[in-house]
Amino acid sequence: MASNASASEMVLVKAWQGYLGKLDSSPLLTKSISAAVLSIVSSLVGKSIAKEKIKPKSIIDEFCVGLILRGPLVHWFHTFLDKVVFRRANQKNKIVVIAKVLLDQLLFAPIFISLYFYLSGIMSEKKISDISKSIKKDLWGVMKGNWGVWVPANVIGYGLIPLNLRVLWGNIINIFWTAYLITKVNKKSTVKAGQDNGQVS
Per-residue pLDDT of the chain (201 residues; tens, 9 = 90+): 555 667 788 888 999 999 999 999 999 999 999 999 998 888 888 778 777 788 888 888 889 999 999 999 999 999 999 999 999 999 989 999 999 999 999 999 999 999 989 998 898 889 999 999 999 998 998 898 889 899 999 999 999 999 999 999 998 998 877 667 666 666 555 444 433 433 332
d(CA 91, CA 197) in angstroms, rounded, equals 55
Number of domains in the chain: 1
Helices and strands of the chain, counted as H and E runs: 8, 0
Q: Is residue 167 part of a domain?
A: yes
If you ran DSSP here, which 8-state letter would residue 197 be given? Answer: T
Evaluate whether residue 128 is within a structural domain.
yes
**Residue 194 near residue 200 (C-beta atoms within 8 A):** yes
Dist. CA 39–CA 126, nearest whole Å: 21
123 falls within a domain: yes
What pLDDT shows up at residue 36? 93
Residue at 165 is within a domain:
yes
Q: Report CA dihedral (10, 16, 20, 22) to the nearest 10 degrees.
A: 100
Tell me, yes or no, whether 195 lies in a domain: no
**Euclidean distance between CA atoms 129 and 136, whole angstroms:** 11
Query: Domain range holding 83?
Result: 2-190
Judge whether 196 lies within some domain.
no
Residue 27 lies in a domain: yes
For position 49, what pLDDT does the model report? Answer: 74
3-state helix, strand, coil in the chain (%, to 5): 85, 0, 15
What pLDDT shows up at residue 9?
85
Indicate if the alpha-carbon torsion angle 51, 149, 90, 107 is positive or negative. positive
CA distances from 28 to 6, 65, 196 (A): 32, 15, 43
Across 131-152, b (16+ Cβ under 10 Å) vs e yields: beebbeebbeebbeebeeebee
* Residue 130 domain-assigned (yes or no): yes
Alpha-carbon distance of 40 to 26, in angstroms, equals 22
Instruction: Check if the beta carbon of residue 149 is closer than 8 Å to that of residue 120.
Output: no
